[in-house]
């Protein structure tokens, strides 16, 4: 498959230059030969246009149009003309597909491929804070801390511990690979800095309450504490309540599941998948193009392409007020853009006048 990515103007002056570069990098993995140019290439099987707002040339072969930022009636009208020629508008989201369908563009002319992330940004460790003294009579239940390390992931959590008597538990956590900041004595100036940086404030004791609990709430920190003493007098102050060690483990198990679920939400939004989905669209379109008028297309290509479409246009709500709202927003968007440009020019002229007056 020979693909020509058409960049109208200096695409590197905008974020879209990154999209071009990533397609150029990853498309060859899926059997595509890639060219990048400012005009269509009639020798290419696919001419894929990066976002622009000018009419397309009529050529043989398959043309696709990257679609985003359709926020004015002018851009919508240009896109409609482009899709009279292009085989497909490849949007960035299913939401845009729905809106464009409501605006009158045929559903079979639209699909979506979500943008990608670089897979280099990793979540920071979630910080658990413990700030109290260990007491000889065991009322702080300090052994909970060392035992808890068996059930937590050091790739997800870290600890900040302040107070004397925690050395044994800190050592247990350290041996399990946890990152720990330990203050063996109470240091008020450090304490007031630390509390707002916590993700969770943790307390094990059942002895009326812990003052750090109040400070944690004042800082907006989630609390994992026992339901007793003045902890109970703060309405909704306890984020996670427990009594037994097993209940504490269950709390952190649920937190871990939630965090991992959040971390994985865009794990497959990679540039490799972004490129692959374009290849899936283009293979489908090429089969459509070459199969005419019989339109016999492989089941595999149909299935891959269908995941990138709103499968049934009848499922898209098409109420009159939705259309009216959509077109109102597009018209007002166009007027707002024109007004903003005008005001920007006026400000620029005023700045130049003021600059000349200052020089005089």
Q: What is the mean pLDDT of residues 139-166?
A: 96
Q: What is the mean pLDDT of residues 73-101?
A: 93
Region class of 104: left (phi > 0), else alpha (psi between -120 and 50), else beta: left
DSSP summary character for residue 51:
S
Q: What is the mean pLDDT of residues 21-37?
A: 96
Q: Tell me, what's the pLDDT at 225?
A: 97
pLDDT above 70 for 360: no
- Report the range of poorest mean pLDDT among 80-84, 132-136, 278-282, 331-335: 331-335
Q: How far apart are CA 256 and CA 153, in angstroms?
A: 8
Orientation of helix 271-291 relative to helix 299-306, angle to 10°: 130
pLDDT above 60 for 292: no
Q: Tell me, what's the pLDDT at 319?
A: 52
Tens-digit pLDDT profile for residues 194-247: 999 999 999 999 988 899 999 999 999 999 999 999 999 999 999 999 999 999
Contact 128, 145 (CB under 8 A): no
Tens-digit pLDDT profile for residues 252-277: 999 999 999 999 999 999 999 999 99
Which domains does the chain carry? Answer: 2-118+269-318 (3.40.50.2000), 126-263 (3.40.50.2000)
DSSP sequence for 228-259 = -GGGGGSTT--SEE-SSHHHHHHHHHHHHHHH
pLDDT above 80 for 183: yes
Q: What is the mean pLDDT of residues 276-303?
A: 77
Q: How far apart are CA 266 and CA 115, in angstroms?
A: 10
Contact 47, 62 (CB under 8 A): yes
pLDDT band at 35 (very low <50, low <70, confident <90, very high): very high
**Counting Cβ atoms within 10 Å, is residue 246 exposed (0-12), middle (13-18) or buried (19+)?**
exposed
pLDDT above 70 for 314: no
Q: What is the mean pLDDT of residues 143-161?
A: 97
Q: What is the mean pLDDT of the chain?
A: 89
Q: How many CB atoms lie within 10 A of CB 187?
A: 12
Q: What percent of the chain has pLDDT over 70?
A: 91
- In this structure, which long-range contacts are made by residues 17-24, counting pairs with CB atoms below 8 Å and at least 24 apart in sequence? 19/50, 19/66, 19/115, 20/50, 22/116, 22/271, 22/274, 22/275, 23/48, 23/274, 23/275, 23/278
DSSP sequence for 105-138 = --GGGEEE------S---PPPEEEEEE----TT-
pLDDT band at 290 (very low <50, low <70, confident <90, very high): low
Q: Tell me, what's the pLDDT at 52?
A: 86
Q: What is the mean pLDDT of residues 78-95?
A: 94
Contact 97, 112 (CB under 8 A): yes
Q: What is the mean pLDDT of residues 141-164?
A: 96
pLDDT band at 137 (very low <50, low <70, confident <90, very high): confident
Within the chain, residue ranges assigned H as helices are 16-26, 73-85, 94-102, 143-148, 167-175, 188-194, 211-218, 245-263, 271-291, 299-306, 320-359
pLDDT band at 325 (very low <50, low <70, confident <90, very high): confident
């Amino acid at each position: 498959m020979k693909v020509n990515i058409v960049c109208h103007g200096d695409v590197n002056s905008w974020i879209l230059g990154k999209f071009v570069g990533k397609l150029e990098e990853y498309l060859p993995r899926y059997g595509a030969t890639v060219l990048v140019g400012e005009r269509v290439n009639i020798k290419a099987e696919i001419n894929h246009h990066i976002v622009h707002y000018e009419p397309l040339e009529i050529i043989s072969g398959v043309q696709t149009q990257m679609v985003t930022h359709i926020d004015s009636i002018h851009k919508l009208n240009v896109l409609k003309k482009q899709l009279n020629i292009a085989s497909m508008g490849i949007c960035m989201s299913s939401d845009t597909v729905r809106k464009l369908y409501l605006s009158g563009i045929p559903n079979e002319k639209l699909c979506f491929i979500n943008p990608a992330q670089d897979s280099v940004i990793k979540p920071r460790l979630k910080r658990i804070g413990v700030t109290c003294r260990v007491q000889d009579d065991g009322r702080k239940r300090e052994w909970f801390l060392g035992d808890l390390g068996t059930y937590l992931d050091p790739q997800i959590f870290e600890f900040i511990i302040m107070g004397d008597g925690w050395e044994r538990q800190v050592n247990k956590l350290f041996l399990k690979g946890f990152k720990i900041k330990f203050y063996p004595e109470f240091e008020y100036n450090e304490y007031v800095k630390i509390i707002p940086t916590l993700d969770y404030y943790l307390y094990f004791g059942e002895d009326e309450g812990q003052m750090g609990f109040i400070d944690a709430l004042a800082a907006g920190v989630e609390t994992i504490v026992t339901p007793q003493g003045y902890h109970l007098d703060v309405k909704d102050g306890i984020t996670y309540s427990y009594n037994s060690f097993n209940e504490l483990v269950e709390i952190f198990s649920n937190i871990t599941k939630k965090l991992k679920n959040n971390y994985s939400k865009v794990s497959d939004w990679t540039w490799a998948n972004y490129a692959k989905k374009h290849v899936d669209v283009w293979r489908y379109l090429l089969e459509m193009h070459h199969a005419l008028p019989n339109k016999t297309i492989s089941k595999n290509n149909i299935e891959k392409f269908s995941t990138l479409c709103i499968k049934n246009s009848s499922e898209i709500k098409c109420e009159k007020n939705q259309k009216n709202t959509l077109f109102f927003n597009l018209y007002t968007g166009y007027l707002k853009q024109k007004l903003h440009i005008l005001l920007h020019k006026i400000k620029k002229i005023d700045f130049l006048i003021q600059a000349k007056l200052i020089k005089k």
